[in-house]
Amino acid sequence: MCAALAKGESEIIHPLSSDDTEAALNVLSLVGIGVHQKEDSWQVNGGDFHKPATDLFCGESATTLRFMTAICSLISGKCRLIPGPSLAKRPVKPLIQALRQLGVNCSCQGEVAPVIVEGGRLKGGTTELPGNISSQFVSALLFISPLADEGVKIRLTTPLESKPFVLMTLDCLERFGIKVEFSPGLEKFEVSKQVYKPTKYRVEGDWSSASYLLALGALSGEVEVENLNPESWQGDKMILNFLRDMGALVETDKNSVTVRKSRLNAIRADLSHCIDLLPTMAVLAASADGVSEFVGIERARIKESNRVSALKEGLEKMGIKVREERNRLIITGSRPKGSVIDTKGDHRIAMAFSILGSVAGETIINDAECISKTFPQFWDVLKSIGGEVEIDGE
């Protein structure tokens, strides 16, 4: 998104090729942004937007839908953003309301997409929105704020959850020449009028995707994951602290993490700022000694699936005792048994239960291809480190 907003050519090194990033590339191409894909880099020609000739289909990528809803406010003419079936259930209204306060003519269908944006000139000014629904709303506003006529002030009406994602956005903006003033608690942001500068951006290894492989090491045997930055802004690097707290044997090098099989103890953890770790932590807790408790989980209900209920259903099928509350999940560890898991089409549910299946054996993951959303090579990686995986009887 930053490269698209920078006039000229930027290079993105080590990009992820997945359903979500393909959705972003497709939508950007429809509004005039050229992307030349090489084997391990993308060249992005940004800064020249035009009105799309057709609807902008965002697939199941909430990031694409929410970021592009904001960016379409800069594009003259009408843009209509269309979601896939799962994304059609996820909220976008708070972002629409915040954009309207900045002078943007936009609307959604009740709380959700489709979204219609009549863009062209972004007035700017002051806007408010909640911080506890999605950090993507905040990031979306930050992307367009430097290009507003008057600059923008953003105030959050509730405390920000998933703070690390906003810190990652601020870091990325800075790499493209954009400075943002913000309060220590990330409840206020102020952005003056500025110009994006094209740059070379190297993408870090993804701690969210790595979490499943690191959990596998703790449950099944030694696993080393390379290309992880321990100094990253990514919130999901908290998996290291959680694994250590549970008694896992963890070694870190400057560019890699090794986890060895060990007896795990129960844990109490607040996942407010790393909510995508809930499925990984839930399967670790299922094999740990004692009763684990996870709080700050309410937003997991509005992800690709209701992850709280999907985890409860899957774990109970595998013989694990689970208690679910609105903002809390309590898991009593024991010996999981093989079962058939309904992933609800959710990539993180599929990957997490494959890890627990490695302990239990004889586990069937239905709709296994949903991992292509963020980690298309997951099953191949699992096989490459000794996982016994059959896909559709292969």
Query: Which of 20, 236, 276, 346 does the annotation list as catalytic?
Result: 276
List, in sequence order, every residue forming a beta bridge with 13; answer none if it has no partner: 41, 202
User: In the Cβ-directed half-sphere of 80, how many Cα atoms lie within 13 Å?
Assistant: 6
* Closest to 240 measured CA to CA, from 263, 225, 257, 255: 257
What secondary structure does DSSP assign to 153-170, as a single string? Answer: EEEESSPPSSHHHHHHHH
245 burial level (CB within 10 Å; 0-12, 13-18, 19+): middle
User: Is residue 276 annotated as part of the catalytic site, yes or no?
Assistant: yes
Run of H or E residues at 230: none
Which candidate, 315, 352, 350, places its Cα nearest to that of 336? 315
Backbone angles phi, psi at 378, to 5 degrees: -55, -50
Is 80 within 8 Å of 89 (Cβ atoms)? no
Residue 122 structure tokens: 């972004």
CA dist., res. 73 & res. 164, Å (int)? 26
Strand order in the sheet with 41-46: 34-37, 41-46, 8-13, 200-202
SS3 readout for 321-373 = EEEEECCEEEEECCCCCCCEEECCCCHHHHHHHHHHHHHHCCCEEECHHHHHH
Question: How far is C-alpha 242 from the chain's CA centre?
Answer: 19
**Which residue, 151, 105, 107, 163, is CA-closest to 127?**
151
How many angstroms separate the first and last alpha carbons of the chain? 39
Structure tokens at 89: 């259930």
Residues with active-site annotation: 276
